[in-house]
Amino acid sequence: MLPLKKDKKEEEEGGGNPFNNLEKSSVLQEARTFNETPINPRKCGHILTKVLYIINQGESIGQTEATEAFFAMTKLFQSKDPILRRLVYLGIKEMSKIAQDVIIVTSSLMKDMTGKEDQFRGPAIRALCSVTDHSMLQSIERYMKQAIVDKVPGVSSAALVSALHLGKDSQEVIKRWVNEAQEAVNSDNVMVQFHALGLLYYIRKTDKLAVNKLVSKFSKHTLKSPYAYCLLIRIASKLIEEEDAGSESPMFDFIESCLRHKSEMVIYEAAHAIVQLKNTTAKDLAPAVSVLQLFCSSPKPTLRFAAVRTLNKVAIKHPAAVTACSLDLENLQTDVNRSIATLAITTLLKTGNESSVDRHMKQISSFMSEISDEFKIVVVQAIRSVCVKFPRKHNVLMTYLAQMLRDEGTFDYKREIVDCIIVTIEENPEAKEVGLAHLCEFIEDCEHTVLATKILHLLGKEGPRTPTPSKYIRFIYNRVILENAAVRAAAVSAIAKFGAHCDDLLDSCIVLLERCQLDTDDEVRDRATFYVNVLKQQQKSLSSAFILNGLQVSVVGLEWALHQYTLEPSETEFDMKSVPLATQPLMEQEVRDVPGEAPSARPAQEKVAASRQDVYQEQLAQVPELANLGLLFKSSQPMEVTESETEYYIQCVKHTFSNYLVFQFDCTNTLNDQLLEKVTVEIEPAEGFEVTKYIPCPSLPYNKPGTTYTLVRLPAEPTQVTGTFACTLKFLVKDCDPQTGEPDDEGYDDEYVLEDVEVSVADHVQRVMKPNFAASWEEVGPENELEDTYSLSTMSTIEEAIKNIVQYIGLQPCERSDKVPEGKSSHTLYLAGVFRGGHDALVRAKLALDSSGVTMQLTVRSTDPSVSEVLATAVA
């Protein structure tokens, strides 16, 4: 019985698909039948279908084979059989990219294109354009123009679409067809209208004014095609985006009016566009949200999906706007389409309140296994935002995340979970131990090296400061035994951190590290040897400098400095202090991905760019007069010294070198009838400072930014570092013709008063993050300690006081001490950094809140006495 059954199955399969098991070579062999006369249309049609089928299956056909088949195919033009002819067009299009000399069919196709058979004309045009190249285009241009305005819609559409395809290579030629396209937009056929609008926009898209006109024209004149409307909405919202306009733009009115269109497609496009716009307020969103709400109860899954996905986006920026839809979203939680259900729940998580979290989480976990990884990431992101919003819920969420970590998943998914846990740990001290425990468990069985090293680093940083650091060591040491070299090296560093931080674990850690010295990998061995030797010294300051704090210079800067050092060999040793420090990234608001978007674009934003300071360093080195000032210590943020709407727009950046200050003025001339020459900024220096050089900007034409520098020597007295500088812009004006920019020969001197530039203590220090403040504090020692008590009567809260202190002193808050736990009336702020010249500077500020304001006890330690003095006076 059994073999018989099998035969039957094979039979069925073979019978089911006559195209099954087609051999490429035999089919191409069969294609020779095309050369026979008279042509048998049915037979040839069938063979041609087979050829198309194997091409469609993705068989690769060699150039010679394709050329041969192509030429055989051209014989079929003799037959008038319509279906055969149409198949030939398809064959030509498929082979046009592989075969040689395809232009041979041009004349046959041109005959069909201008012939009487309307059914041939459209497809013939499309086939023709697939074989035409740039040089041949001239010869068919006339026919194409005629075809665009042809009264048969199929012909016109074919010509318009082909024009767009051709436009990729021959934009210039296509531009000449604008009048024809214009005429075609007025066609009664919806598709022709859509294609013509597309072509018109394509031709004009670089000309903003013309695009503007295009939109305002067609938004009044009613289009028939919903596709054309969608396109017009996209064009309009792009214009709004470019102009950075909001709801006051006339384009916005047009988009809003589309919310009342009769086609759902257009309504959705308009709602989507409004949601995507940047400068929208909750009020602008309201009508869009209400149409989306209606769509939520549509019987069509696609429409529900589209609606809830867009609402999810709204919830990121304006959670309040979506609350009205809560009820509809609740209903969607049980949708058969899991994507819709996931989106609905994650939206609810973002907008809902604390009490509903448990319920939603339960709902998601019921079908977590059924949804794709992309949606799992959406869920994780939603959990992340909930973690931040409701810190008290961390217990439920952490368990849930840990469970997801244990399940199968791709790297992106796992990374997202790990990131989420890390963020939660950092934001919420209560969640730290639970989170670390989950992560420890995860690395026990983690196949992704990147994640494992990341977690080990985190364990090294956070683990020693938990109440029972010893329990993490086992997890970490297991990695040394079981993992690859990269993970082992990370584990070694982590163990060393435990040793440096916890005295009672020091001996055990040294024993473990000594075992690692026998590792097979160089890096692991080197690290272990280094750490063992440092730890054995048992000096807090050494451990702190080499294990806990690590290297804090900018990598690009170090590379540059080492390169310079090797270029000019000298007797002196390389000085680490001469290397610019890595600028601490400010607390940046990370832009979260919109759920479900392509993850492919993400790596770009993670790429480490050369820091702003490194760019300035390069830029200043280009100016010969400033090239030998040494290494740039710090550059300030640009600040405006004019109002932005005035004749000249100027920004100032302060660069600090070890003995000099450079003021960089970036100037823009906003008057189109003036040319400025010899532009300098004259500075009235504060006491002790001395202006040594002006580097003028030779000419400043209209709207072309130029730069002038002023060099100031710092006072010899080390405690004198701050001051106010009065600035005046001096220049030679030449009137010129606004159109041509041709200046007059004669000019006159003029000046323009700028706002004063302040130099503060913050300009002389660089922020440095000390992960272990206490160790660094001991490392620097009480030698140059200064202490003082201040009463900050103007501050009413500790948060406000911290914000101001950080701003005045310009140092980096360490150990998250800039965040005050709620309800506390006293707090200690730790600040760390490096003063100009490479002196470590540490500040401890004890703050207490009482009825009269905030009282502060400020203690400064530094490796240089004058630095302590400067910092201690900075707040006063």
Complex with other proteins: residue 137 or 695, whichever CB lies closer: 137
Q: Could you tell me the two tokens for 420?
A: 């989420």
- State which residue, 57 or 826, has the beta carbon closest to other proteins: 57
CB of 43 to other proteins, least distance (A): 6
Tokens representing 320? Answer: 């309040």
For other proteins, the closer CB: 317 or 471 = 317
Place of tokens 């480490």: 608
Phi-psi region of 525 (alpha: psi -120 to 50; beta: other; left: phi over 0): alpha
Q: What are the DSSP calls for 802-848, one per residue?
A: HHHHHHHH-PEE-TTTTSPPTT-SEEEEEEEEEETTTEEEEEEEEEE
Please check whether residue 561 is in contact with residue 525, taking contact to mean a CB–CB distance below 8 angstroms: no
**CB-based contacts of 519, cutoff 8 Å, min separation 6:** 480, 488, 525, 528
How many helices (H) and strands (E) the chain has is answered by 38, 17
The minimum distance between CB 14 and other proteins, in angstroms, equals 6
Residue number with CB closer to other proteins (199 or 425): 199
d(CA 573, CA 561): 12
Q: Are 751 and 798 in contact (CB under 8 A)?
A: no
Identify whether the C-beta of residue 735 lies closer than 8 Å to the C-beta of residue 637. no
Q: Shortest gap between Cβ of 305 and other proteins (angstroms)?
A: 5
Q: In this complex, which beta carbon is closest to other proteins, that of residue 60 or of residue 851? A: 60
In whole angstroms, the minimum distance from the beta carbon of 339 to other proteins comes to 6
**What residues have CB less than 8 Å from 592, skipping those under 6 apart?**
316, 381, 385
Nearest approach, Cβ of residue 86 and other proteins (Å) = 5
- Give the nearer residue to other proteins in terms of CB position, either 30 or 818: 30
Q: Which two tokens stand for residue 276?
A: 């995507």
54 by Cβ neighbours in 10 Å (0-12 / 13-18 / 19+) ranks as middle
Q: How far is the CB of 374 from other proteins (least distance, A)?
A: 6
Smallest separation, CB 178 to other proteins (Å): 16
Q: Which is nearer to other proteins, 10 or 503 (CB)?
A: 10
Nearest distance from residue 50's CB to other proteins, in Å?
A: 9
Nearer to other proteins, 137 or 555 (CB): 137
HEC string of 289-329 equals HHHHHHHHCCCCHHHHHHHHHHHHHHHHHCHHHHHHHHHHH
Q: Which is nearer to other proteins, 123 or 833 (CB)?
A: 123
Please measure the distance between the N-terminal and C-terminal CA atoms of the chain and give it in whole angstroms.
99
CA 656-657-660 angle, to 5 degrees, is 90
Closest to other proteins by CB, 302 vs 828, is: 302
To other proteins, the closest distance from the beta carbon of 395 in angstroms equals 31
Q: Are 146 and 184 in contact (CB under 8 A)?
A: no
What residues form DSSP beta bridges with 767? 833
Pick between residue 370 and residue 742 the one whose CB is nearest to other proteins: 370
For the bound state, the minimum distance from the C-beta of residue 181 to other proteins, rounded and expressed in Å, comes to: 12
Neighbours of 354 (CB within 10 A): 11
CA distances 288 to 280, 321, 327, 558, Å, are 11, 10, 17, 53
Q: Which is nearer to other proteins, 78 or 605 (CB)?
A: 605
Q: Considering beta carbons, is residue 594 or 639 the nearer one to other proteins?
A: 594
Q: Is the Cβ of residue 53 or residue 530 nearer to other proteins in the bound state?
A: 53
Residue placing its CB nearer to other proteins in the complex, 238 or 525: 238
Return phi, psi of residue 715, to 5°: -65, 150
| Shortest distance in whole angstroms from residue 164 CB to other proteins | 6
Kindly state the smallest distance separating residue 664's Cβ from other proteins, in Å.
Answer: 33
Cα gap 460→454, rounded to integer Å = 10
- Report, in Å, the least distance between residue 131 CB and other proteins: 14
- Tokens at 639, concatenated: 């600040």
Q: From the CB of 357, what's the least distance to other proteins, in Å? A: 25
* Sign of the Cα pseudo-torsion (48, 53, 55, 60, in order): negative
Cα of 52 vs its chain's centroid, Å: 42
CB of 316 to other proteins, least distance (A): 9
Q: Is the peptide bond before 38 cis (omega within 30 degrees of 0)?
A: yes
Cβ 453 to other proteins shortest distance, Å: 24
Q: Are the C-beta atoms of 524 and 485 separated by less than 8 Å? A: yes
Closest contact distance (angstroms) between CB of 189 and other proteins is 9
Indicate the residue among 338 and 471 with the shorter CB distance to other proteins: 338
Residue carrying the six token digits 């030939």: 88
User: Which is closer to other proteins, CB of 595 or CB of 696?
Assistant: 595
Q: How far is 203 from 197, CA to CA, in rounded Å?
A: 10
Owner of token pair 């014989």: 75
Cα-trace Rg, the chain: 36
Helix (H) or strand (E) holding 713: strand 706-713
With a CB cutoff of 8 Å and minimum separation 6, the contacts of 268 are 291, 292, 295, 303, 306, 307, 310
C-alpha count within 13 angstroms, C-beta hemisphere, residue 771: 23
Least separation in angstroms between residue 117's CB and other proteins is 10
246 versus 853: smaller Cβ distance to other proteins: 246
CA 734/CA 749 separation, integer angstroms: 9
C-beta of residue 274 within 8 angstroms of C-beta of residue 288: yes
